[in-house]
Amino acid sequence: MRKTFTFAFVALFVTIVPALAATQLTGAGSTWDYPYFSKAFYEYSKSHGDVQVNYQSIGSGGGIAQFTQRTVDFGATDVPMNAGEIKAAEASGGPVLQAPVVLGGVSVIYNVPGIASGLHLTPGVLANIFLGKIANWNDPQIVKLNAGTKLPNTPIVVVHRSDGSGTTYIFTDYLSSVSADWKSKVGTGKSVTWPAPSAIGGKGSEGLAGQVSNNPGAIGYVELAYAIQNKIPQATLQNAAGKYISDAPGGVRAAAASKPELTPTNFSIVNAKCATCYPIAGYSWVVVYQNPQDKSKAKTLQEILTWLTGGDAQKIAGSLDYVPLPENVQQIAHNTLAKMHV
């Protein structure tokens, strides 16, 4: 009996050790990137059998914290690390590199009885709704923008994300840039204090979308990919050039292209100025040390992150309703990653 047990133990040990010999990379951070990362890394492991990436979607804050403590090889965050966070990370592991990895948009969703997708909203009206200044769907300001539609006399219920979220950051960044009132009263952040008296919070995109669908008269915001996949009625927004954008993914691509000088300190692409630009778009970022502590994995890490921000992998992102990084942004990412000392 004891002999069988020992034999089984040794056999198990011998089979596990070679499997452990495969390169294991770990990452943690943004939940927004998670659908893309999980599919991309799976595809990569299929073609590069000896590399496995384990990504934990614990939130951008958690990702930065783990990255600073060097418990993971790379972090992923919706908002690039600020000066304070970079200083802490540099003290821990040396210079930090940040590269854009995912591009997406934020869609305004609503649930108004009798109104299908495509309600027209201007930046000013949108800001006033979320400030609580417009409290009813048949308010003259909304009616004026939608001449042919009969808007009901339903109170507006503002729904927001109750958890800290990169989507909230991009949305509030947009509202701050189109409304001085919003900027002074509320500001930009992953979690903010919502001024509208009707505001309720939902946890996660599912929670927010759930609250919107359960409350007639609700308005909220989710990732563009989420709204498309779940076929939720979306508003057609007016951009800075005065045009109503109905092709949101194309508009996100145009907004990204309008800022070729993208850097981790100058990364906001909301309220972009071109004619076809979608007004609410943003990047998500991957962070890595310039001198990775584990030299044996450094080359693999650089290769996989370069692949992740390259054309082939970005096609996978496109299939998941993200918007693939434009060529020039892919180049920016590759130039950044090339600085790694491998």
List binders of other proteins among 229-288 (CB under 8 A). Answer: none
Please select the residue that binds other proteins; options are 51, 53, 55, 59, rule is CB under 8 A. 59
The CA R_g of the chain, rounded to the nearest whole Å, is 23
- If you ran DSSP here, which 8-state letter would residue 235 be given? P
Residue 56 or 276 with smaller CB distance to other proteins: 56
Q: Tell me phi and psi for residue 292, to 5 degrees.
A: -60, 140
Nearest C-alpha neighbor of 215 from the set 138, 158, 136, 137: 158
Contact between 188 and other proteins (CB under 8 A)?
yes
Contact between 75 and other proteins (CB under 8 A)?
no
Q: In the numeric block, which tokens belong to residue 62? A: 């958690």
Please select the residue that binds other proteins; options are 192, 252, 298, 337, rule is CB under 8 A. 192
| Binding piece for other proteins, criterion CB under 8 A, among 42-50, 162-170, 269-277, 299-307 | 162-170
Residue 205 or 330 with smaller CB distance to other proteins: 205
Least distance from other proteins to the Cβ atom of residue 172, Å: 8
Beta bridge partners of 55: 27
Phi-psi domain of 235 (left: phi exceeds 0; alpha: psi -120 through 50; beta: other): beta
| Binding piece for other proteins, criterion CB under 8 A, among 37-45, 160-168, 219-227, 248-256 | 160-168
Least distance from other proteins to the Cβ atom of residue 313, Å: 25
Please select the residue that binds other proteins; options are 124, 207, 310, 318, rule is CB under 8 A. 207
What mask of x and - would describe binding to other proteins in positions 103 to 142, judged by CB under 8 A?
Answer: ----------------------------------------
Distance CA 185, CA 127 (A): 12
Residue located via tokens 């919706």: 78
What mask of x and - would describe binding to other proteins in positions 208 to 227, judged by CB under 8 A?
Answer: --xx--xx------------
Contact between 186 and other proteins (CB under 8 A)?
yes
Nearest C-alpha neighbor of 281 from the set 335, 205, 331, 221: 221
Distance CA 197, CA 199 (A): 6
What single string gives the DSSP state of each residue in 117-176?
S--EE-HHHHHHHHHTS--BTT-HHHHHH-TTS-----B-EEEEESS--HHHHHHHHHHH
- Cβ-based burial of 27 (10 A; exposed 0-12, middle 13-18, buried ≥19): buried
Please select the residue that binds other proteins; options are 36, 51, 60, 262, rule is CB under 8 A. 60
Contact between 85 and other proteins (CB under 8 A)?
yes
Q: In the numeric block, which tokens belong to residue 144? A: 């004026």
Interacting residue ranges for other proteins, rule: CB under 8 A: 58-62, 64, 82, 84-85, 155, 157, 162-166, 186-194, 198-203, 207, 210-211, 214-215
